[in-house]
Amino acid sequence: MKLANRLALAFLAVIALSALLTFVLVRSTTESHFRTWVFEGDAQKARTYAGILGDWYRERGSWAGVQDYLTGLPRTMYDSLAGDLYAHSTKGLVASFSADTFARLLSDRVALADADGRIVADTAGAILGTVHPAKHLEHGIPVMAEFKRVGTVLVGSMIDPTFTGAGGSFVDSLGSSLALATLLSGGLAFILGLALTRRMTGRLAILNTAAGKVAAGELAASVDIEGKDEVAELAASFNRMTEELLRLEEARRRIIADSAHELRTPVTLIRGAVEAMIDGIFPADRANLESLHEETLRLSRLIDMLRELEAIDEGELVLDIGVVEPLEIAKKAASLFAHAAREKGLTITAMGEPVTGARADALRLGEILHNLVANAVKYTPAGGRVEIAVRGIGSPTASSQGSGDGAFVIEVADSGPGIPPEERDRVFERFYRMDRSRSRDSGGRGLGLSISLEIARAHGASIEIGESRLGGALFRLTMPARKLAETPDRKA
């Protein structure tokens, strides 16, 4: 069943239950209050009848003949009132209503029980002669004579709790009006709830359609849902997700294309050289074999880089955290590139201060510096300088005693052309080159900086790009302090 139908049924069930409870509670409460009001009125009338019947009993000493007296009481009262009015010369007032009219004014049902609970009088004649237990007469008004209870008088609702006449009509009318109001309000609430449900599920249907397009490969699909509620937030998140998926898909395609291109070149060179040797065009001498070996090493390094990126992406990069000396690692990186720097006419130096308590993966930290220094040497023109500076955080100047709490900064600066601000965020992208026309030898593969950034992030560190005082690029690696109790080996 669709969500819209389930919500509609849920709305209907909740509204029906609420309407039923409201109807029952309001009707029962109103009827209870109305019954109390009627009973209080009947109780006041019963007190009047109790006084009249008490006088009647004191005159006769028994209830004999009380049925006829109680039945004829309205006419007796009429005759008495008419006589009084005639005596005071108000004949016109007496003629304005008849005895029957007066009797209707006193039409309340009255019943009288003697001291034993036997009904000795009933204006309706329905329960005359029946015996009622004391608990049935407890709501009645006692009839007293000579300080003795000689009977109990019941009027209207004291005899029959069922509403009749005007009272019954009022209760029935109230129930009908309440039922109609409940149905109308419940129906209106259901219609509004249904409209709200359709609106909400309609927007979800739009999201579902867009999700189906994405599942089918249409990553550019997006939704346009206005508002500030949770559905609108979900739509915004969906749009951000599709944008990220599209970006990742484009990056994946570019990586595949660039990887194929990078792999194709050394494979083509090796294949061509081997075929030339087989055909006798190239001699299989030491020089040609060394050239082939160099290409296989280049191919092997590229494959290793791709495998390392795969391990990083899958969270399988293992760090062997231990105590390190950043200055020694920096000096080692400088010595590794000393020969390449001399051949290019560059000056490369490593300087700084020892850092006490520094902890990192020494091999991975060396890999980061290797990539940063290689990048600096590659782009710095002949006669330039490459500097590696190490300092502990919190100690801006060098000190032979060491400094810091284990956090440190390594800066690699060069006197090359630098990196434009608009390119700085992209140089860490895989296979990205600022100059796409450069060869592999001059422009690199575009993987070293990407790997360095991922390794730094695995350490909780960061790499920033700026301008060096030498006029070229500045790469700043900031490594946070690590607790000694930290687990040495972990996956990134």
* Residue 171 counted as domain residue: no
Q: Are residues 333 and 478 in the same domain?
A: yes
* Residue 487 counted as domain residue: yes
- SS3 letters across 169-228: HHHHHHHHHHHHHHHHHHHHHHHHHHHHHHHHHHHHHHHHHHHHHHHCCCCCCCCCCCCC
Least confident segment among 64-78, 447-461, 476-490? 476-490
121 or 226, greater pLDDT: 121
pLDDT digits (tens, 9 = 90+) for 441-473: 444 456 778 888 888 888 889 999 999 899 899
- Of 165, 188, 216, the residue that ends a domain is 165
Q: Are residues 444 and 480 in the same domain?
A: yes
Q: Are residues 72 and 115 in the same domain?
A: yes
Domain containing residue 401: 318-491
- Of 139, 165, 191, the residue that ends a domain is 165
Q: Are residues 382 and 481 in the same domain?
A: yes
Q: Are residues 53 and 118 in the same domain?
A: yes
Q: Is the pLDDT confidence value at 1 over 60?
A: yes
Over residues 31-50, mean pLDDT: 85
What is the reported pLDDT for 394?
Answer: 62
Over residues 193-199, mean pLDDT: 77
- Of 297, 313, 329, the residue that ends a domain is 313
pLDDT digits (tens, 9 = 90+) for 209-225: 888 888 888 877 888 87
pLDDT digits (tens, 9 = 90+) for 371-412: 899 889 988 999 999 999 999 886 444 444 444 468 899 999
Instruction: Work out the percent of the chain whose per-residue pLDDT is above 70.
Output: 80
Q: Are residues 139 and 241 in the same domain?
A: no
What is the reported pLDDT for 400?
Answer: 41
Rounded distance between C-alpha atoms, residue 487 and residue 307, angstroms: 25
Over residues 11-32, mean pLDDT: 82
What is the reported pLDDT for 454?
Answer: 85
CB neighbours of 116 closer than 8 A, spacing ≥ 6? Answer: 131
pLDDT digits (tens, 9 = 90+) for 304-358: 777 777 777 666 677 888 899 999 999 988 888 888 888 889 999 999 988 888 8
Q: Are residues 83 and 135 in the same domain?
A: yes
What is the reported pLDDT for 441?
Answer: 46
Give the start-end residues of each E strand in 301-436.
318-320, 322-323, 347-352, 359-360, 385-392, 408-414
- Tally of domains within the chain: 3
Q: Is the pLDDT confidence value at 91 over 80?
A: no
- Tell me if 57 sits within 8 A of 150, measured CB to CB: yes
* Residue 470 counted as domain residue: yes
Q: Is the pLDDT confidence value at 107 over 80?
A: no
Q: Are residues 247 and 128 in the same domain?
A: no
145 or 195, greater pLDDT: 145
* Residue 104 counted as domain residue: yes
Q: How far is CA 227 from the centre of its chain?
A: 16
What is the reported pLDDT for 395?
Answer: 47
What is the reported pLDDT for 435?
Answer: 55
- Tell me if 118 sits within 8 A of 134, measured CB to CB: no
Q: Is the pLDDT confidence value at 87 over 60?
A: no
What is the reported pLDDT for 488?
Answer: 47
Q: Are residues 242 and 156 in the same domain?
A: no
* Residue 225 counted as domain residue: no
Give the helix ranges, DSSP H, for 337-410.
Answer: 338-344, 362-379
What is the reported pLDDT for 121?
Answer: 92
What is the reported pLDDT for 483?
Answer: 62
Q: Are residues 31 and 134 in the same domain?
A: yes
470 or 253, greater pLDDT: 470
Q: Is the pLDDT confidence value at 83 over 90?
A: no
Alpha carbon separation from 237 to 220, 224, 234, 243, 407 (Å, rounded): 14, 12, 5, 10, 37
pLDDT digits (tens, 9 = 90+) for 4-14: 677 778 878 88
pLDDT digits (tens, 9 = 90+) for 114-169: 988 999 999 888 888 898 878 878 889 999 988 899 999 998 888 877 765 566 67
Which tokens go with 294? 């160099």
What is the reported pLDDT for 440?
Answer: 44
Question: pTM surpassing 0.75?
Answer: no
CATH number at residue 278: 1.10.287.130
Q: Are residues 243 and 336 in the same domain?
A: no
Q: Are residues 282 and 155 in the same domain?
A: no
CATH number at residue 336: 3.30.565.10
